[in-house]
Chains A and B, each alone.
Chain A
Amino acid sequence: MGKKILVVDDAAFMRMMLSDHLTKAGFEVVGQAENGAVAIIKYKELRPDMVTMDITMPEMDGIQAVKEIKKFDPAARIVMCSAMGQQQMVMEAIQAGARDFIVKPFDVTRVVQAVTKALS
């Protein structure tokens, strides 16, 4: 059984692409969330091994969601998905407890590498 992943991104297309990459690499995508607030609810409900977290989202952004998830579960493993030019926000997310980041659009090799490393 592959490790359980929760995919968080406000763009349905990006959630689909990332879920597809992860499933093909042998991971099990147990849930998806379209914003930070939904991500927190789904994290508590699904208890995934890993979360991929977008940064810019409506309702609640990814950095806030990382902080809340880490409060609930300090051992949570989270990899940020950032767009170009978001270095400052990536740093903030890492300080909040995220383990690594991948840059959108996704390069399959890099996605698998980052997720595998964060799970190890």
Chain B
Amino acid sequence: MQQVSSFQLDVLNEIGNIGAGNAATALSLLMGSPVDMTLPWTKFCPLEEGCALLSRPDEVGVGVQVGLDGSVTGRMLLTFDEASALHILLAFGDMLPEKDLDNEMARSALMEVGNIVAGSFVTALSEFLKASAWCSPPTLVHDYFDAFVCTVMVSGCQDTDYVLVFKTELQVGGKVLHSDLAFMPAEDSFRMIMNALGATGG
């Protein structure tokens, strides 16, 4: 298995922190109320382990996935449990008349949240790599975690074996919401990142 040293993981975590800071600023502007975002921990692991980390047995959740284009390709998935997703919708206040996860406008607002979080991370990563990368339009799934997490993580990632998981905490409207951000880089992008971090592989 590809080894990532604690130093390299620290750098990836720092890139994640820069992305989280930018995401918090952008989300505050989007929702019109203060939002904070922190990353308690980051883990780099094989895809199967990542699936297990993000899955929450018998729980319903929401996942927003985006593709990455440009010099860095791959896929990102942001997940929330249902209660957290509903709390985010409430934080939009009057901007969103329907706070229902099956409502088109509410789903679009959540996709924009996912787009901002993923986009902020991609921007921080591409600045570190001095490369250009951007997100493709997001899609949203509302289902049991078990039913969508592994499918989303594996589909379209035939050339991906590893995942970088950021445990995230979002402070919205006086509540701390737990969510996961998974980054599945394509193999060549993964190598590019590891080269930039000075990895030799193991």
Contacts and interface: CB of A to CB of B under 8 A. Distances in A.
Contacts of A12: 104-105, 108
Given A56-B137, A83-B135, A85-B134, A107 B29 contact: yes
A10 B135 contact: no
Contacts of B112: 11, 13-14, 105
Chain A at the B interface: SS class = loop
Interface in A53-89: 56-58, 83-86, 88-89
Interface string A13-41: 11011001000000000000000000000
B38 interface: no
Residue of A13, A14, A104, A107 with most partner-chain B CB within 10 A: A13
B123 interface: yes
Residue of A12, A16, A85 with most partner-chain B CB within 10 A: A85
Interface string A80-114: 00011110110000000000000011110000000
A14 B26 CA distance: 13
A85 B122 contact: yes
B133 interface: yes
B13 interface: no
Contacts of B116: 83, 105
A107 B127 CA distance: 24
Contacts of A58: 137
A84 B133 CA distance: 10
Given A56-B134, A85-B126, A86-B134, A11 B119 contact: no
B115 interface: yes
Given A11-B112, A57-B137, A84 B105 contact: no
B95 interface: yes
Residue of B22, B123, B133 with most partner-chain A CB within 10 A: B123
Given A84-B123, A85-B119, A105-B29, A10 B134 contact: no
Interface of B: 22, 26-27, 29-30, 95-96, 104-105, 108-109, 111-112, 115-116, 119-120, 122-123, 126-127, 132-137
Instruction: Identify the 7 closest CB pairs spanning chains A and B, nearest first.
Output: A85-B123, A13-B108, A105-B30, A12-B108, A13-B109, A105-B29, A84-B123
Interface of A: 10-14, 16-17, 20, 56-58, 83-86, 88-89, 104-107
